[in-house]
Chain A
């Protein structure tokens, strides 16, 4: 068996706050293997985001004390502070929560993508990097990519910006994607599109994913394993399906019970997803007949 992409052993994070030192992460251990998605789920303040930010060493050194071990492709990011700088944007890439503020508002999408691409491939010329940017945007299903590259972040919707950020993460050819609430700021149907894209990328590239979410539905859909986090610790860890069907810990049971049920509906598209596309096109054409090409009218 090959070694996991990420192996975390007894990670602890202490945060220095005005009110004193808070142990935000209190000894968590987990692994993420190639092609796997492992999710940390919890409510506000559970320490799930702090865990992710600590692994990426994105917490300020003077305010966060990290201990334990976290091997990312063999490099211990806890002891090797410099090592992680070489990994970020290469071995590991972050997909942030809020796509609206993650990009520089005064630079075009193209310029920022070219910059990201050339971190990984400094040998590429700007023109070659721009060509690569176009193919990356196609890969994340953005229509008319040349035009989008000339746009500024505010000219794109939240869903589209998240696709751009995912494209930048792919450009890093990362072994591990850390997605911190990647769809929490998006509408539900837009969220579905982004989650579908992430699953598709994993199928084609075998990238490992560490997902942070508060949403049990998202966790269930995306994950191989789920760790339920509360007050800095894992209260329960299990296979995703098993965790939802047979939760053992009372806190997990309580979280599941708090998700409002929607009742029965036999969704025809679950058996035939392509039917949904045809139905959407038909519904749009019915309200906007001018969109149907002349020939087929």
Chain B
């Protein structure tokens, strides 16, 4: 068996709050094989974006390890981290907020090349042109600014910028969530194609099970900072074992599989489940909305440690 490109063990990430620290990620372990895609799915406040941000060290882990190609990134100082940084790149959710509006596409894509240094201006320009074509945009796009592009085109520019660093691992944090469905399908196709061509490894953060099925071989389902269920994506979706995974699966409203006029049971079951949880929490004297993770009743329940 080959060693995974990324191996995360017992990861804990806490954020300071006025009422003490909040544990956003609570002992999470997973690994991703080289050239594979692992999806992390869950709802707001489940800790999935915190994992993404911690991997690129926008956050520091509180404890646990994140071994990337033999090196534990969690323990490194900024200086020690620098030679590794380019190898993990991020594609962000918001195609509007994640590109500097003052720069041209050329400047945006070339910036990581300039930062790494050692390349002539001509080489940088050639590489930028090459990258922009690789994500399916014409060379002429290089001269334009973000405002002139659609959401899907901007997301392609964001992907080109990430690829400029020649990463091994791409962390996609809800990379297609802000896009129309037809555009989303095109961006997913692009990501799959890039993976085939370049052997890229993806950590794909999403709330959308359909998207996850289209791109990820393996899936972990998170709630309240913990992994609820994990396994091959098809298995998680076709035979969800845990109650929460089933609820998430049920919540994904797939038009083709609904039967009858206004098929009520689909949402009835989810609504009843939530209500049962809230009533139980209210009886236990816990305010399900008083603490962080507002839409996750379990997050607010007193956690036995």
Binding site for B on A (CB under 8 A): 37, 43-44, 141, 143-144, 155-160, 186-193, 195-197, 199, 214-224, 240-241, 244-245, 254-256, 258-265, 267, 269-271, 273-285, 287-291, 293
Contacts and interface: CB of A to CB of B under 8 A. Distances in A.
A58 B302 CA distance: 45
Residue with the highest number of chain A CB atoms closer than 10 Å, among B182, B211, B274: B274
Given A188-B207, A256-B256, 19 more contacts: A143-B282, A144-B282, A158-B295, A189-B248, A189-B270, A192-B250, A192-B251, A199-B264, A220-B255, A220-B258, A260-B208, A261-B254, A262-B252, A271-B265, A279-B273, A284-B277, A284-B297, A288-B284, A291-B281
A271 B265 CA distance: 7
Contacts of A277: 269, 272-273, 275-276
Contacts of B238: 263-265
Contacts of B207: 187-188
Nearest to B289: A157
A219 B263 CA distance: 11
B242 A265 contact: no
6 contacts: A155-B289, A240-B261, A241-B260, A269-B269, A276-B273, A283-B242
Given A187-B207, A263-B234, A218 B254 contact: no
A34 to B, nearest CB: 15
B147 interface: no
A202 B265 CA distance: 15
B5 interface: no
Contacts of B211: 260
Contact of A244 (B44, B244, B256): B256
Nearest to B263: A221
Given A158-B294, A291-B283, A293-B283, A196 B268 contact: yes
Contact of A259 (B210, B269, B274, B297): B210
B266 interface: yes
Contact of A43 (B181, B254, B301): B181
A199 B261 CA distance: 12
A280 B264 CA distance: 19
User: Interface SS of chain A: helix, strand, loop or mixed?
Assistant: helix
Contacts of A264: 238
Contacts of A220: 253, 255, 258, 263
Given A193-B270, A262-B213, A269-B250, A221 B258 contact: yes
A93 B18 CA distance: 39
A259 B257 CA distance: 12
A219 B254 CA distance: 10
Contacts of A282: 243
Given A199-B262, A218-B253, A283-B243, A193 B271 contact: yes
B75 interface: no
B19 to A, nearest CB: 15
A276 B269 contact: yes
Contacts of A255: 181-182
Contacts of B119: none
A157 B182 CA distance: 30
Contacts of A143: 278-279, 282
B184 interface: yes
A146 B54 CA distance: 41
A153 to B, nearest CB: 12
A265 B249 contact: yes
Contacts of A245: 256
B243 A280 contact: yes
A186 B264 CA distance: 19
Given A199-B264, A259-B181, A265-B240, A285 B280 contact: yes
Given A262-B210, A277-B275, A280-B276, A43 B182 contact: yes
Nearest to B253: A217
B76 interface: no
A138 B253 CA distance: 27
B126 interface: no
Contacts of A269: 246, 250, 265, 269
A88 to B, nearest CB: 27
B78 interface: no
A215 B239 contact: no
A241 to B, nearest CB: 6
Nearest to A276: B269
B209 A262 contact: yes
Given A254-B182, A283-B243, A288 B289 contact: no
Residue with the highest number of chain A CB atoms closer than 10 Å, among B258, B270, B283: B270
B243 A193 contact: no
B95 to A, nearest CB: 12
Contact of A270 (B266, B272, B274, B280): B266
Given A220-B253, A284-B277, A288-B301, A261 B213 contact: yes
B98 to A, nearest CB: 18
